[in-house]
């Protein structure tokens, strides 16, 4: 099974936690996960959001890097930068 989602990267863990708290008020399934090695960020976590739900938090993450991730079994890869 192939899963696709958006991953927002952060420069700090503090910013990641702040955005996660705000995003969960809008999109219940938003959550922090470890970032794949090909995503460059100072923080080791990113915010996982479903592609179909991303438009609801787009203003919240404006200015941050967003990646489309494809997960097949347990392997994740960057499909594109959004």
The domain made up of 2-81 has a fold known as Alpha-Beta Plaits (3.30.70)
Domain boundaries of the chain, sorted by first residue? 2-81
pTM of the model: 0.89
Q: By C-alpha distance, which of 81, 33, 15, 21 is closest to 57?
A: 21
Residue 62 and residue 66: Cα distance in Å, rounded?
9
DSSP class of 63: T
**pLDDT tier at 76, thresholds 50, 70, 90:** confident
**pLDDT tier at 40, thresholds 50, 70, 90:** confident
């Amino acid at each position: 099974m192939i899963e696709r989602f958006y991953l927002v990267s952060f420069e700090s863990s503090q910013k990641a936690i702040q955005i996660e708290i705000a995003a969960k008020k809008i999109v219940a399934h938003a959550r922090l996960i470890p970032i794949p090695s090909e995503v460059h960020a100072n923080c080791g976590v990113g915010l996982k959001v479903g592609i179909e739900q991303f438009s609801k938090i787009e203003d919240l993450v404006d200015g941050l890097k967003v990646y489309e991730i494809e997960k097949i079994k347990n392997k994740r890869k960057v499909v594109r930068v959004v």
